[in-house]
Amino acid sequence: MESARVIVEVVAGLTPGQDPIPEYTRRWALTSQEWQTAKDNGAHSEALAVLNGKAMGYAGLLMLQPDRLNWVRTDWIWL
């Protein structure tokens, strides 16, 4: 299994401070190889923008569900 370089995770739930609802959790990642290839090609900013766009788009969709969720959080984890 290839190691991750960066992971973006979106979580959401009902009560702030309590655990997120697992079925709403999604993760997007760039592997170390994908990151290196993007850097070598001068496209690392674009690779991060695509990753961020996917995560923020999903977070935005969750924010439109106030009948199911009260909070949404996006975390970046660099490894």
Q: State how far the alpha carbon of 64 is from the alpha carbons of 5, 9, 13, 24, 27, in Å.
A: 30, 18, 13, 13, 19
For residue range 62-74, list pLDDT tens digits in order.
Answer: 999 999 999 999 9
Q: Let me know: does 57 contact 28? Beta carbons within 8 Å.
A: no
Report pLDDT for 5: 95
Report pLDDT for 1: 73
Domain ranges of the chain: 4-78
Report pLDDT for 14: 96
Report pLDDT for 2: 85
Alpha helices per DSSP H over 3-79: 32-40, 44-63
Q: Which residues of the chain have pLDDT under 50?
A: none
Pairing of strands 26-31, 71-78: unpaired
Report pLDDT for 75: 97
